[in-house]
Amino acid sequence: MLQRILISAIGAGLAVGLVTAAIQHVTTTPLVIAAEAYEQPDTAHHHHPAEDAHAHSHADAEEHSQSTAVWAPGDGFERTFYTSLT
């Protein structure tokens, strides 16, 4: 009897989780993707007067940009999977 209750509870939890993930994918994910456009760092180099004393080479700038890279899930299945997982 306990086994039947446990299986029913797990099945109900999975079903509700899948429905919730589908609703979130349709309603919330487009808003998040649109908002990410505002989170992207500006890639243009802004000139600061304090930098006049230091000449930065292209290699230094490239090294700096690579060290600040942040992981993000790719579009498509990967994004949907990680969003549904959380």
Q: What does pTM read for this prediction?
A: 0.52
Residue by residue, DSSP assigns the chain as -HHHHHHHHHHHHHHHHHHHHHHHHHHTHHHHHHHHTTTSPP-SPPP-GGGGGSPPPHHHHHHHHHHT----PPTTHHHHHHHHH-
Q: How many domains does the chain have?
A: 1
Residue 66 lies in a domain: no
Residue 51 lies in a domain: no
pLDDT of 36 over the 90 cut = no
pLDDT score of 39? 80
Range of the domain at 9: 1-36+74-86
Q: What is the pLDDT of residues 41-73, one digit of tens each?
A: 665 555 555 554 455 555 555 555 555 677 877
